[in-house]
Amino acid sequence: MDDTSRALIGSAAGSQPVSEAAAGAILTIDLGAIRENYRRLKARLGGVRCAGVLKADGYGLGAAQVASVLAKEGCDIFFIALPGEGIALRKAIGPGPDILVLNGLPPGSEPEALAAGLCPVVNSATQLKAWRQAARSAGRSLPAAIQVDSGMARLGMAPAEVEAVAGEAGAFDGIDIRFVMSHLARADEPQQVANEKQRHEFDRLRKMLPAAPASLANSSGIFLGPAYHYDLARPGAALYGVNPTPHEANPMLPVIRLEAKVAQTREIGAGTGIGYGHTHQADGPLRLATISLGYGDGWHRRAASAAWFEGVRLPFIGRVSMDSIILDISALPAGRLGEGDLVELIGPSQSVDDAAGHAGTIGYEILTNLGTRFHRRYVGA
């Protein structure tokens, strides 16, 4: 990558852009890879529509930047979790695309949501009533998705609630039902009968409601096959390079690269205590490098992990600090790594899913924890 192919077009929401020189670590986000991942999912979906899920600032990668790439691919439906995220996204992308609020509208947020042209995902009879009232006050019908709980017990109308509103005269007056949707609890486990059970329950529940396009599949759900595709898929993680088929090779392109700068190097002798708590003591001479990235940047303190340099694994040694991590670089020739050099935390040698495995978590959490102190470099737009 040369500098002319790099375009800095933004930074994490709420934080100031940090220059490459001043930052302790560089996060490279490949918008071209996100575009290609969207195309791969679309190809799997045949003619079925494909939304983009942009909650938590586009899984930490920048909702506005991701939205603009997806919009150019013809994507005109975006999902976020909260109305605040929707209002910010609407400001960034302007009028046009639908923005759906997955968690529904907290009571009292209806006027703001209406002003920003958001479409709530209605998850309860109470929310349905509030949106119906908002439509009456506005003097026009308002769009909504209706979510039913087909077997996850998280968000959406429970079966009894679906039956109740289905039998209630005027329950959907003034509501333009764009989608009836539900969410899968175990989509990443293709052998699980829970998936089929949820699909059948989804079919049973949506048939009680006014006819509308249906949506069930998240990233992994797309890979469960056409029976799960309905009229609209809602991928998030797969767009960002997280493996939607954890039991198989990743069908998506990697999207991010995270590199930290060496702040300092040193040589130590046997018996030297390393880092907070002296949790590690050198049993012989060691060469160490301290990098400018720590748990304050979202790198889990308890993650047993390593950085990489030119394919050489450099294990963490001692505790992860807030702003730094000590690496054992004894595997490299003396003087090979110096101040300002970059080591890889996520990239060709260690994927997001690998890093998640070392931290005892999932790729989703690695992405959404990515810190605000990094220099963010967007490429491939």
Ligand X SMILES: *Cc1c(COP(=O)(O)O)cnc(C)c1O
Strand partners, 157: 148
Strands (E), 135-285: 142-147, 175-181, 214-215, 232-233, 256-268, 273-274, 280-281
Of 155 and 312, which has the nearer Cβ to ligand X? 155
Which of 64, 33, 67 has its CA nearest to residue 52?
Answer: 67
Of 232 and 317, which has the nearer Cβ to ligand X? 232
Nearest distance from residue 326's CB to ligand X, in Å? Answer: 34
Q: Which residues are catalytic?
A: 55, 276
Nearest distance from residue 365's CB to ligand X, in Å? Answer: 12
Nearest distance from residue 237's CB to ligand X, in Å? Answer: 3
The answer to whether 328 and 317 are in contact (CB under 8 A) is yes
Nearest residue to ligand X, scored by beta-carbon proximity: 236
Query: Interface residues with ligand X (CB under 6 A)?
Result: 53, 55, 102, 183, 218-220, 234-238
Cα–Cα distance measured from residue 134 to residue 111, given in angstroms and rounded to the nearest whole number: 8
Which of 211, 231, 256, 238 has its CA nearest to residue 77?
Answer: 231
Report the largest interatomic distance among the alpha carbons of the chain, rounded to a whole angstrom: 80
Of 85 and 328, which has the nearer Cβ to ligand X? 85
Strand partners, 257: 28
Of 141 and 245, which has the nearer Cβ to ligand X? 245
Nearest distance from residue 301's CB to ligand X, in Å? Answer: 25
Cα–Cα distance measured from residue 231 to residue 25, given in angstroms and rounded to the nearest whole number: 41
Which of 224, 210, 217 has its CA nearest to residue 181?
Answer: 217
Q: Write the CA distances from 204 to 78, 152, 184, integer angstroms.
A: 26, 16, 15
Of 154 and 302, which has the nearer Cβ to ligand X? 154
Nearest distance from residue 155's CB to ligand X, in Å? Answer: 7
Sequence length of the chain is: 381
Nearest distance from residue 49's CB to ligand X, in Å? Answer: 14
The answer to whether 70 and 233 are in contact (CB under 8 A) is no
Which of 373, 14, 42 has its CA nearest to residue 239?
Answer: 42
Nearest distance from residue 141's CB to ligand X, in Å? Answer: 24
How wide is the angle at C-alpha 305 spanned by C-alphas 304 and 307, nearest 5°? Answer: 160
Of 224 and 337, which has the nearer Cβ to ligand X? 224
CA 128 vs. chain centroid, Å, equals: 28
Cα–Cα distance measured from residue 342 to residue 331, given in angstroms and rounded to the nearest whole number: 16
Of 202 and 316, which has the nearer Cβ to ligand X? 202
The answer to whether 194 and 220 are in contact (CB under 8 A) is no
Q: What is 32-52 written as a DSSP string?
A: HHHHHHHHHHHHHHTTSEE-E
